[in-house]
Amino acid sequence: MMAATKRIAVGVAAFTMAGGLAACSGLGVGFGSGSGESGELGTEQGAHGAKKEAPAAPKSAVRLIGDGSTAYTGTQPHQLKPHRLKAGQRPPQFVVFSWDGAGEDSQRLFSHFRNVGKKYDATMTYFLSGVYLLPEDKRHLYEPPQHPAGRSDIGFNDVVGISDTVDQLRGAWLEGNEIGTHFNGHFCGKNGGVGTWSKEEWKSEIAQAKAFVKRWKTNAGLKNTEPLPFDYDKELVGARTPCLEGQRNMIRAGRELGFRYDSSGVGKQVWPKKTDGLWDLPLQLVPVPGRALETLSMDYNFMVNQSGTVKGDPSQHEVWGNQMRDALLRAFGRSYNGNRAPLIIGNHFESWNGGTYMRAVEETIKTVCVQKEVRCVSFRQLADWLDAQDPAVLEKMRTLDVGQAPKEGWASFLTAQPEAASPMPAPPAAAPPAAVPPGAVPNVVGPPADAHTQLTPGTGATHPVTPAEGR
């Protein structure tokens, strides 16, 4: 069970926007897709291309690192081999499901979604908070930038919670999932929040996040537990910052430490590009059914827009979950039938509003990951595919706006020589908003872009509060 009192750490400005609502065939090799032009979003279960199958490393290949908290065990199993698109080949539709914090507590949501991922051939990214591997009695080992030693806005863990979390991290990696970082103390806002940190302070935070992963056996006294089966210095290639703050200096620090991508931004459903040498893979603005606005593709943002509290009106729980699910499916549809830009979705292992957002995410996974030409992948796998592509082809695909398919079809669009600096086409006309069920959604705007929670020692029990109570 995870530890500490549950409270939400809030501290970023709103990222909703008024706007209109908008609304798989032969496969290529590896991450590739077919070159055909047909394929509307339907219910037919499609093939998944090259299977993510690679045997686990033999016992003889295991090499313990440091105190044995981590180990080199060979190449990660269940990875797809990326291939460059052929001329005229339609790109696959990538979907990334990601999880901030990534600890296992009494709700057992980490283990649950691992099983969901296996069932629907979805690999995901788990952004681990390093303090989830640090016991309360060793809190002094954490020296956060601009804060006293032993301070954390999400608390620390207990030995049972650390053991449970390590079990999930181990299994997740062996199943092909990625272990990224959500850093440590989750400090937001102007008074020492991550948005005020320098590059050197971010380097310290990253080094400590790695250290807690590399020394959990010593810190928690779990000497006889199996190691995590990876070298975290090599495994850690990307992150999402607390409250989506501090991205600029974090990227500067991360680039020097071998990071390959960042998911701390706010963006649109268009093909990504690099910022300061890292792939910028932001959370995205998605259409909200029944509302003339878009909000970020994260459970927390839907919760704040709908109820403003994690314990809203129970009679609306199902409506709110359906609205989030349908928003994600609309976002998927306008990429899948449009520009094929990767869809980025962020979540927390929380039961806000009766667990309705967890249901929404699971139903989204069940619907989209079985579609033809769809690849539900981790951020690392997406970065691998992007790195394998012709930069000129990626640049041409970036000329397609949200939901915009090539007028001449993909075969012609990606057969012609890409033009340098093509102008951005005008966006497609907005669809009329759907009717809102009576009393379904209060008119709340301006959700914080991210949140996190503390843990309750030894119990995993939740004590939800409204966003205004957290920091």
Q: Does residue 462 carry a pLDDT above 80?
A: no
Alpha carbon of residue 456 to chain centroid: 24
| Whether 428 contacts 403, CB under 8 Å | yes
Q: What is the pLDDT of residue 60?
A: 56
Ranges of H-type helices in 152-265: 159-174, 199-214, 216-220, 232-235, 247-256
pLDDT digits (tens, 9 = 90+) for 385-404: 999 999 999 999 999 999 99
The pairing of strands 343-348 and 278-280 is unpaired
More confident residue, 264 or 446: 264
d(CA 318, CA 300): 16
Q: What is the pLDDT of residue 14?
A: 35
Q: Which residue has the tokens 């313990």?
A: 64
The pairing of strands 293-296 and 283-287 is antiparallel
Q: Does residue 147 carry a pLDDT above 80?
A: yes
For residue 56 the two structure tokens come to 């686990």
Burial of 293 (0-12, 13-18, 19+ CB in 10 A): middle
Lowest mean per-residue pLDDT among 39-48, 209-218, 323-332: 39-48
Provide mean pLDDT across the span 71-93: 96
Q: What is the pLDDT of residue 130?
A: 98
- Determine what percent of the chain falls in helix, strand and coil, rounding each to the nearest 5: 35, 15, 55
Confidence of residue 353 (pLDDT cuts 50, 70, 90): very high
Q: Does residue 191 carry a pLDDT above 80?
A: yes
Confidence of residue 271 (pLDDT cuts 50, 70, 90): very high
Q: What is the pLDDT of residue 460?
A: 32
Provide mean pLDDT across the span 16-27: 30
Confidence of residue 74 (pLDDT cuts 50, 70, 90): very high
d(CA 111, CA 358): 13
For residue 293 the two structure tokens come to 């606005």
Q: What is the pLDDT of residue 417?
A: 55
Confidence of residue 361 (pLDDT cuts 50, 70, 90): very high
Nearest to 245 by CA among 268, 263, 260, 264: 264
Amino acid occupying residue 140? H
Q: Does residue 471 carry a pLDDT above 80?
A: no
Percent of the chain predicted with pLDDT > 70: 75
Number of C-beta neighbours around residue 268 at 10 A: 15
Q: What is the pLDDT of residue 61?
A: 78
Burial of 30 (0-12, 13-18, 19+ CB in 10 A): middle
d(CA 281, CA 342): 9
Number of C-beta neighbours around residue 416 at 10 A: 12
Q: Which residue has the tokens 């948005």?
A: 195
pLDDT averaged over the chain?
83
Percent of the chain predicted with pLDDT > 90: 74
Confidence of residue 454 (pLDDT cuts 50, 70, 90): very low
Can you count the helices (H) and strands (E) in the chain? 12, 15
Q: What is the pLDDT of residue 34?
A: 38
Q: What is the pLDDT of residue 340?
A: 98
